Structure 1
Amino acid sequence: MPAALRPDDLAKGLAQIFVAIGPVYRKAARVVESSEAASGMSVGVRAVLDHLYREGERTVPQIAESLELSRQYIQRMVNDASGDDFVELVANPAHRRSSLVRLTGDGRTAIERVVAREHEVMARIGGTLTATDIEATLRVLRHMHTALDELTG
């Protein structure tokens, strides 16, 4: 097993990852927003719908915490998604003042179409990447996330 990197070398390598992530994320977001499957859905609405699809109904604060975005931003995205009949607000038995956000049938259909389109695009990337490459990338990103959480308290 290779030795762990020295702190300076680790910092340089992780900085390169940060530099690479931004353009890849923005390009992927443009592909999603411009696809017919997204039909005008913003990246923010897509993130909320995807979160609800994967996690089930949640409150705005829960979604914001999980996605590490502001409550105000998530509320705007929920309002947009509600305007498109993708989500509905339902009573929360655990908290009277914080409604649960739930996917509607149209919302479920919409996010399933977008996810299917994303998978189609990703499948065409090609190359010689292996499962080991994907696992290593995810391990590094999760490690970075955990370490940053610890640094920010």
Structure 2
Amino acid sequence: MQSIIDQLNETLHKAEEAVKANGKVEESHIDTMMELTNKFSSSMKLFDEEVKNDESVFLKLDKSGIEEINAFDKKLNQLRIDKINAVEKHDYEKAARHRDEMRKVQNKKYKSLIDLNELNIGFNEFNNALLLINEPLNNSKVVDAFVRRYRF
């Protein structure tokens, strides 16, 4: 018998394929995901929000993993400073480049947190909760529709 998480991920995959084929989200897929999440005994959380709220939950890693994440944080802080300096000098193109680079580094950091915690894009069980991870830099119509319907 498939686990609830496997069923959720299978439904999510089918829904994404349907969007590629039809260009729209089929409500039946969202309904199925809602039913399955209601069967799951614990709360559901969004990865992006959890990282923003309390990144330390994902930092129970070995030393090399923590060093990897710290390197991303150091790079992000430097880019933030560089962006502020560019704005103060009215060099808005440079500030925009720093902003874009910050997004790229943040997404690399998210991908590292996902990999280091042995998580997958889609639904996961993590710390006794259902954790939904959306692909960085990919605004999934299915995930967006599901999140609008699900009450966090």
**TM-score calculated relative to the size of structure 1:** 0.29
More relative contact order, 1 or 2 (CA 8 Å, 6+ apart): 2
TM normalised by structure 2 equals 0.29
